């Protein structure tokens, strides 16, 4: 496999980075990088780290980084995951550094501990912390419960002062969304599976409305909704498909939809194959809506979607012969 750390890869312009991912030769990992400057979304680092966990150290090759931002990669623990000695000296993180380095989470208790420790690292006020810990909890629990990945979840996060945004990336190398959703549905493509997974009340554990005792199929819908209401990016990539919720135009009334394809988005199903699932999300702290107001919108959309789906399922039509 080959990955190139580009000059810039954030959710708005991540498509070329994803398309350049070479997923052939899954037993090897080769990383190259832009020589001058590397500025990437945490999801890029999470993807690299998640891949590195699956490969023997001797089969990982990382080009010697020359860009000034190599110190950032060191601070984010990238070389630890690659098991490569970087020879980069770093001073302990500056007060301005608000980030959560790459972390592997393998079980429920580790997640609870991680969430508790994460908020002080990002220096968040309670109102800002609420959607972020919510998102991290739901995303990581999805990985722990559904991915069947031997290596569980890898994630990291970073605060960006200029945009006053927290960016979060989480990756796993498990079975992917299509395999999970197809435990209860029969999707033909990865994109179709992503679409279902983002709808409220759809889970791979059952087709029954209301879900099982443990899963309702609401987690990804909530996260997409948080990003939508805050006018932020949200990206999900699994198999050969990628769905990206685009920023909503400011000033316009925000309307939530049960169907992610009704939101302003971009998508594709010709991406290099990612075995597992990758999620990236931005949360702008300027725009963070009161979480409780957001929940009103979520409730309304959730129930409306479920009712429409039930109506459609039980609707009988006159048969004319």
Partner 1 sequence: MNSIKLFKLVGNFAENKDIARDIRIKKIIPAIEKGEEVTLDFEGVNSATQSFVHALISDIIRKFGVDILDKIYFKNCDETIKKIINIVVEYMQEMD
Which residues lie near partner 1 (CB under 8 A)?
108-109, 111-112, 115-116, 126, 130, 133-134, 137-138, 141, 200-201, 208-211, 213-216, 218-219, 222, 291-292, 295-296, 298-299, 302-303, 306-307, 310
Name the token pair of 105: 């989470």
Provide, rounded to whole angstroms, the least separation between the CB of residue 223 and partner 1. 11
d(CA 249, CA 164): 18
Please provide residue 174's backbone torsions phi and psi, each rounded to the nearest 5 degrees. -90, -145
Nearer to partner 1, 116 or 189 (CB): 116
**Contacts by 60-64 with C-beta closer than 8 Å and gap 24+?**
60/28, 60/29, 60/31, 60/84, 61/28, 61/29, 61/30, 61/31, 62/30, 62/31, 63/31, 63/32, 63/33
Provide, rounded to whole angstroms, the least separation between the CB of residue 31 and partner 1. 34
Provide, rounded to whole angstroms, the least separation between the CB of residue 32 and partner 1. 38
Nearer to partner 1, 131 or 239 (CB): 131
Nearer to partner 1, 62 or 136 (CB): 136
Token pair 């000033």 in the structure block, residue: 251
**Which residues have CB under 8 Å from 212's CB, separation 6+?**
203, 205, 206
Nearer to partner 1, 59 or 108 (CB): 108
Q: Give the count of alpha carbons within 13 A of 314, CB side only.
A: 6
Nearer to partner 1, 53 or 139 (CB): 139
Give the burial string for 288-321 (b: 16+ CB within 10 Å, else e). Answer: bbebeebbebbeebbeebbeebeeeeeeeeeeee
Q: Sort strands 99-105 and 153-160 into parallel, antiparallel or unpaired.
A: antiparallel
Name the token pair of 44: 């890029």
Provide, rounded to whole angstroms, the least separation between the CB of residue 128 and partner 1. 12
Provide, rounded to whole angstroms, the least separation between the CB of residue 219 and partner 1. 6
**Contacts by 198-201 with C-beta closer than 8 Å and gap 24+?**
198/224, 198/236, 198/243, 198/260, 199/258, 199/259, 199/260, 199/305, 200/258, 200/301, 200/302, 200/305, 200/306, 201/302, 201/305, 201/306, 201/309
Nearer to partner 1, 9 or 124 (CB): 124
Nearer to partner 1, 91 or 292 (CB): 292
Provide, rounded to whole angstroms, the least separation between the CB of residue 234 and partner 1. 17
Provide, rounded to whole angstroms, the least separation between the CB of residue 232 and partner 1. 19
Provide, rounded to whole angstroms, the least separation between the CB of residue 67 and partner 1. 37
Nearer to partner 1, 91 or 109 (CB): 109
């Amino acid at each position: 496999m080959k990955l190139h750390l580009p000059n810039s890869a954030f959710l708005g312009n991540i498509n070329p980075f994803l398309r350049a991912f070479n997923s052939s030769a899954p037993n090897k990992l080769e990383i190259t990088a832009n020589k001058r400057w590397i500025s990437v979304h945490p999801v890029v680092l999470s993807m690299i780290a998640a891949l590195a966990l699956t490969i023997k150290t001797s089969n990982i090759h990382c080009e010697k980084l020359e860009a000034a931002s190599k110190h950032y990669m060191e601070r984010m623990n990238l070389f630890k995951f690659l098991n490569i000695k970087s020879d980069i000296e770093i001073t302990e993180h500056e007060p301005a550094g608000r980030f959560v380095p790459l972390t592997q989470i393998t079980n429920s208790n580790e997640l609870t501990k991680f969430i508790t420790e994460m908020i002080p690292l990002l220096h968040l006020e309670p109102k800002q912390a609420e959607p972020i810990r919510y998102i991290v909890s739901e995303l990581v629990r999805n990985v722990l419960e559904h991915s069947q990945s031997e290596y569980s979840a890898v994630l990291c996060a970073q605060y960006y002062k200029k945009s006053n945004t927290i960016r979060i990336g989480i990756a796993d190398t498990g079975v992917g969304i299509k395999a999970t959703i197809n435990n209860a549905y029969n999707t033909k493509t990865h994109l179709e599976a992503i679409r279902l997974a983002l709808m409220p009340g759809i889970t791979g554990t059952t087709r029954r409305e209301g879900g099982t005792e443990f899963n309702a199929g609401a987690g990804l819908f909530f996260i997409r909704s948080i990003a939508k209401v805050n006018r932020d990016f949200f990206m999900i990539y699994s198999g050969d498909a990628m769905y990206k919720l685009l920023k909503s135009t400011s000033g316009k009334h925000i309307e939530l939809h049960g169907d992610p394809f009704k939101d302003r988005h971009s998508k594709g199903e010709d991406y290099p194959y990612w075995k597992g699932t990758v999620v990236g999300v931005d949360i702008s702290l300027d725009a963070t809506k009161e979480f409780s107001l957001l929940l009103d919108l979520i409730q309304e959309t959730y129930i409306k979607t479920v009712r429409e789906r039930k109506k459609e399922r039980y609707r009988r039509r006159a048969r004319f012969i």
